[in-house]
Amino acid sequence: MNKKMMVSLITGILFSAGALYLAFKNIPFGELSAYLASINYFWMIPTTLVIIVCFILRVIRWQIILSSTKRLDFWQAFHPLMIGFMLNCVLPARIGELARPAIIKKKHNIPFTTGFATVAAERLFDMVFLVCFLAVVLATVPMDPEFHYSYKEYQLDRETLKTIGQSMVVFCLILITGIATISLDRSRNMIIKILQKIPALLSLGVHRISNAIKIYLTGPLESLVINIASGFSLVKNPLNLFNCIFLSMAIWGLSVLSYYLFSLGCPGVSLSFFQLATVMIIICFFIALPSAPGFWGLWEAGGIFAMMLFGISGKEAAGFNLANHAIQMIPVIIIGIVSAMLSSINIFKIADDAS
């Protein structure tokens, strides 16, 4: 493990340890153990099936995004995607997001920056739908306006969620504008022309300096712009864009369904589909912070806060989130390991290269 990954791992563990302490400090361990034993784990079966379907839809969406660069069949896309998500579960710093483009570069000779751009496109779709979900639940799901929850120096309440949502909307709009600018031929060609003129402007007519600037600065930037545009080129294809939007809706809808199905086996957790959508969204915002592998600690802290908004006691909220977290992670880890074995990928080498 290199130094950068080690620092990230230590930082994540400290964040997660603090989150676990704050999430569970007022919950007697004996009561939590008794609650976990009372869960009807039969509901793991339909929950796991829905989780697997979600990842199948993610593979299809990634295939569509990749198709503008290179067409991969289902299994060629499935294995890198599952390995990437598995690495996110077992290694720090979301290293799986970098491992996936590293795998398709190694296996299918797709430039790393292009592969990374396709992963970023996926994350953009996810981010947009999370923001949209947050706007819907804030408008439709009743929450106690007086409720607040302290997490370290933060005071979390309904207004905090609104502020987060508004900030995410602005960020998404800026990101979409930048992507569209690079992806459209006219604006991209203009950017490339500007880059091509920079060496002459900065070199003051000295040929050696001009070549150095082109080799080490503007040339790589030009390649980066072209590769990113290739990864995001689906914005020029309305059918691909529509299919990705539809698949993103299905992915997040089924993700909420997996929470809902498991809640049916959890005593004291009687939340509606839309209330559990709120729980899932808040968890997603929490786990965006640095955390230990698998997001342990921050996931539970976010889930407990979210469920307490709807009157669920700390014991039931802690038990549900701890068990649900494990159920959401375990199938991904198992499938990712099998994918690495079937595709002959050395996950430790890939993770080290990606970091």
pLDDT along the chain (355 residues), means of 10: 52 51 55 81 94 96 88 92 87 79 89 84 84 73 65 60 70 75 79 82 74 78 73 73 91 95 92 88 77 71 83 85 89 88 77 61
- Rounded CA-CA distance 72/102 in Å is 15
pTM over 0.75: yes
Residues in the chain: 355
pLDDT given for residue 60 in this prediction: 96
CB atoms within 10 A of CB 13: 17
The pLDDT of residue 290 is 58
DSSP code for 88:
H
Separation in Å, CA 18 to CA 8, 13, 22, 325: 16, 8, 6, 17
d(C-alpha 240, C-alpha 61), whole Å: 9
DSSP-derived letter for residue 153 is T
Per-residue confidence (pLDDT) for residue 31, from 0 to 100 = 64
Spatial distance between the Cα atoms of 128 and 132, rounded to a whole number of angstroms: 6
Whole-number pLDDT of residue 12: 47
15 vs 206: CA distance, rounded Å: 52
In whole angstroms, give the CA distance from residue 215 to residue 221: 10
271: left (phi over 0), alpha (psi -120 to 50) or beta: beta
In this prediction, residue 21 carries a pLDDT of 54
pLDDT at residue 121 in the model? 83
> Helices 347-354 and 96-108: crossing angle, nearest 10°?
110
Residue 157: what pLDDT? 66
